[in-house]
Structure 1
Amino acid sequence: MTKGEGKTTTLARARKAVDGRRERSRSSHRRIVEAMMELIANGDLMPSAARVAEEAGIGLRTVFRHFDDMDSLYAEISATITERVMPIVTAPYQGTDWRDNLRDLARRRVRVFETMLPFRLAANIKRYQSPFLMGQYGQVVTLERELVLRLLPPDILARRTTAEALCAALSFQSWRALRHDQSLSAEEAGTVTAHMVEALIAMVPDQKP
């Protein structure tokens, strides 16, 4: 083997070693994210590093190394949850009347909010310590509100009290209160939400032809 060939082989081995370390780091990161999501979904809203290490099957030191960048972990959890719920959120509405579409939205929010519930409860605990979670909180609340308002015709939007009441009835805060504070089942909370929406719709008089 020539000197040049030896140098090339050494560089190749060095690159392979670096690539191996990077892949192990990425694998550990994925396992930490998956472990955190599993623990949160099962009710541990503030999983400790030791619990995450046990769930992920990796060393505690590795978890601490990745926990130094909590926002990146939260970002990955958020991206995973978003991927799950966006097909429900973005599906086209089939109704020809705003009332029917609003009822459809209420049914969708039962599925979306129930999927998000443990993760948003966990994020709410941590958002005052995380710039990422605080910024995301504002974005999600704004989006939830806009998805309601865009279904309402101009004459309903002009009824600000009714529009705001619909936004409140269909908000995650309302769902959290029903499920978490009032201890209703998902089915019961969905029924209450539908009842609130129907009551608000009934307050709007039919337009004269």
Structure 2
Amino acid sequence: MIPPASEAPPSPAAIDGRRARSGASRARIVAAMLECVAAGEVAPSAAQIAELAGVGLRSVFRHFKDMDALYREMTEALAQQVQPILARPPQGATWQARLRDIAARRAQIYETILPYRISAELRRFESAYLMEDFRRMQRMEAEALAAHLPEAVRADRAGAVGLGVILGFGTWRQLRRDQGLPPEEAAQVVRRMLEDALARWPER
């Protein structure tokens, strides 16, 4: 017996169409999240994201089970954006020169992710995932810096920690958001602090 047309399984073309619409809807939601945070909304709600994306609230949670999942997607999108900067080894004949290169690159990266990381860091106190991601980022920054420090500098714990503070995201956030400095002036302050700290160790 041939089933009625209404009971016929969807055609491959229909399935592909649904997948395309679903993918487009998901992409609009992620784009809306990025746009909302970039515009200064540090703690956007699912309702705000849905309105900006032009989808229903239920559609947001069909694609993302909770806001953590949406933050995870945002983090992955940003990671892809800054990956070309991260992938290049620091340049310089000495470890001091390589730290100067790291400072310049981190200024680029931090400026790119500034509003998004502020948003995630504020929400981390109510999200186990974001708190772990915050700690992971701190570990990555510390390990990336330590890899270019001589043993004598790593042994000087206060000095090594100080270098980490100078080159850390927290310093960039304070200069850009708390102090209200433009990016180039913030970068100049970081370079000045770094040079003052490096003066403790002879160039080699």
Asked if these proteins are the same fold (TM beyond 0.5), I'd say: yes
Q: Does 1:156 align with 2:153?
A: yes
In the alignment, structure 2 segments of 5+ residues that lack a partner are none
Q: Is the 8 A contact 2:96 2:203 kept in 1?
A: no
Q: Is the 2:176–2:182 contact (alpha carbons within 8 Å) kept by the matching residues of 1? A: yes
Provide the alpha-carbon RMSD of the alignment. 2.5
Residue range with higher mean Cα deviation, 149-158 or 115-124: 149-158
Instruction: Tell me: CA distance 1:163–1:16, structure 2 relative to 1, closer, same or farther (3 Å).
Output: same
- 1:60 corresponds in structure 2 to 57
2:22 to 20, 25, 40: 25
Larger Rg: 1
Matches within 5 A, 1:51-200: 51-63=48-60, 65-66=62-63, 68-200=65-197
CA distance in 2, matches of 1:60, 1:205: 59
User: Which amino acid is the alignment partner of residue 38 of structure 2?
Assistant: A
Percent of aligned pairs sharing the same letter? 42
2:10 paired residue number:
13
SS of equivalent residue, structure 1 residue 13: coil
SS at match of 1:43: coil
The TM-score, its normalising length taken from structure 2, stands at 0.88
- 1:172 partner letter: F
Give the Cα separation in 2 of the matches to 1:65 and 1:131: 22
Question: 52-61 vs 91-100, which deviates more?
Answer: 52-61
Normalised to the residue count of structure 1, the TM-score between the two structures is 0.86
